Chain A
Amino acid sequence: MTNTLHRFGDADSFRDDYVIFAIPARSNNPENTLPALRRFLEIAIEYKPVNLGDARNGGALRPSRSLSPLNHWWRDSSLNYQAVLDGLTHPTTCSAVFDNPTAAEDFLKRIKEEDLGLSVNISTSIDGAEQCCNHACIPRHSVGYSLGFEGETEKLPNSQVLMLSTMCGHGMISHSLAKKMIDFVKEGRRTPKEAASVLTRFCSCGVFNPVRAARIIEDARTKTT
């Protein structure tokens, strides 16, 4: 689906947001792609992604089914890459999120060299993706443009909330929760990083960018839209 396509923001707001994902085409013998998908994730880890995931099992920061009450004070919000690797048992879309162009460009170049045979897409600003392709000496094959949001847009929240909630195109991060986390930071009840971690856990495929989220929340602490 179009899960990472319609992130809200102008091109500059994607300066720390590069989602690169690998996908086996349904019509193309996907059963045999599991080793390639695993290799894709293993290579991604070398380039220090800020999130990693597969569309079936989630990202590198997940909710817990049996949380201890002590976690309200000492909660582990570190990224668990190994859980993503271990969970990959069926061919599915695998993604890595980077917060800087250098990592994204180098990763794409490496993926090209590895020749995994998977369809690989870069979801970011149009210029950012083109630079990644240029760095890897790849002419773009196809482009899917986002035309943004139309219709009864008065039903949408302010731009800061929208930038957060649309980082999950599946809609698993509600506008209300995004607003609540901004308010928590404004009140001094959470740090931007802690607030971003809360939102990250709701993303069911690992494409949420906690670094961009923390930056947006930090901006929202002092600026109104």
Chain B
Amino acid sequence: MKINPSKCVACGNCTYVCPMGAIYIDPVIHRATINDDACVECYACFNGLSQEHLPPTVVRTIRKVLAFLRIRFDPEPDVCPTAAFEPNELTWPRVVRRAFSDPRVPHESTGVEGRGTEEVKTNDVTGRVKLGEVGFTIEFGRPGVGVRFREIQEACWALAQAGVTFEKKNPITSLMKDVSTGTLREDILGEKVMSAIVEVKAAATRTEEIIRLVWDVEKRIHTVVSIGVGVRCDADGEDTIVAPILERLGYKLERAKTNAGLGRVATATIAPKHDLVQA
């Protein structure tokens, strides 16, 4: 992403909007500027800000006059008055930043936008996680901190060493040059993204072992981690296997995503050709 300096009026609205805090007003050129290393190409600035198309010179003059008179200019806070944001043509490896950060862009590996996973949301159709199994979605960088692939690799190495199964249709798995060791491609290790999910499945009896493994990884990396644990309920709609383990580990279970089991397997299955978007 770039900001056109001939358009920017340094109103500062975008500095608050950037989830990574990568935009600032440069005191020398008096224009909003993007820290390219911190920017994850999420497009929150470009997509989220409403745009006006006002003449930059007029806006700058008004702002200068009001500032001189110490009058606070109080426009809407989610507007770029001159539509100054302009997307860059992204090349490899920087393009992976956008794939993992802009929810409207599909991952090439899965054809899925967002973080590219279905977890147990479609378990009623796919049967991916069966009774007695547990599916983990271990998300690094969320919420609002970001992560570099080098740190995600730490987790992948540890999980691979524990012998868990990486979800094949997952964007992180697709970036591994060796799935057996959890080693990611070297050319992306320095890239920063909003967040990324490592998705694994194991027997429910290994729940505690895997969580303790993630706790250990957390000590070696410099970001936040959000763990999701997916289980298949029994015929009565209860989970009597995994929830007690999680509570014994000290987790207070407050929120969940509950699959109501209304999905139906289509009679004629054909391979999807278009990009699906997952929330």
Contact = CB atoms under 8 A, between A and B. Distances in A.
A56 to B, nearest CB: 4
Contact of A147 (B21, B195, B228, B265): B228
A126 B142 contact: no
Interface stretch (B30-38, B86-94, B184-192, B236-244): B236-244
Nearest to B270: A29
Interface in A15-39: 21, 23-32
B229 interface: yes
26 contacts: A24-B276, A26-B112, A28-B126, A54-B277, A55-B277, A67-B51, A120-B260, A121-B258, A122-B258, A139-B261, A142-B258, A147-B226, A149-B224, A150-B224, A151-B218, A162-B143, A166-B143, A171-B19, A171-B42, A172-B48, A173-B19, A174-B18, A176-B16, A176-B17, A189-B74, A202-B17
Nearest to B195: A171
B121 interface: yes
A201 B265 CA distance: 35
B269 interface: yes
Contact of B263 (A25, A151, A165): A25
Interface of A: 1-11, 14, 21, 23-32, 54-56, 63-69, 71-72, 75, 90-93, 95, 108, 111-112, 115-126, 129-130, 132-133, 136, 138-153, 155-157, 162, 165-166, 169-177, 180-181, 184, 189, 198, 201-202, 204-205, 207
A136 B262 CA distance: 11
Nearest to A112: B262
Interface stretch (B1-9, B158-166, B175-183, B246-254): B246-254
Interface string B115-158: 11111111111100100000101010011110000000000000
A27 B264 contact: no
B114 A151 contact: no
B224 A156 contact: yes
Interface residues of B, number: 106
A197 to B, nearest CB: 9
B15 interface: yes
B204 interface: no
B157 to A, nearest CB: 17
Given A126-B253, A207-B279, 15 more contacts: A4-B279, A6-B142, A21-B279, A26-B122, A63-B48, A67-B52, A139-B235, A140-B258, A140-B259, A147-B246, A151-B225, A156-B224, A172-B47, A176-B17, A180-B16
A125 B104 CA distance: 27
Given A55-B114, A143-B256, A147-B246, A71 B277 contact: no
Given A55-B278, A63-B47, A75-B76, A2 B226 contact: yes
A193 to B, nearest CB: 14
B53 interface: yes
Interface of B: 15-21, 42, 44, 47-54, 74-79, 101, 103-104, 110-126, 129, 135, 137, 139, 142-145, 169, 194-195, 197, 211, 214-215, 218, 221-233, 235-239, 242-243, 246, 251, 253-266, 268-270, 272-279
B269 A124 contact: no
B116 to A, nearest CB: 7
A139 B124 CA distance: 12
Interface SS, B side: loop
B125 A27 contact: yes
Contacts of A120: 259-260, 262-263
B263 A139 contact: no
A93 B118 CA distance: 11
A170 B114 contact: yes
- Among B221, B243, B254, chain A packs the most CB atoms within 10 A around the CB of B254
Contacts of B277: 54-56, 90, 92-93, 205
Given A31-B272, A67-B52, A3 B114 contact: yes
A153 B21 CA distance: 17
Given A4-B279, A28-B269, A141-B123, A146 B52 contact: no
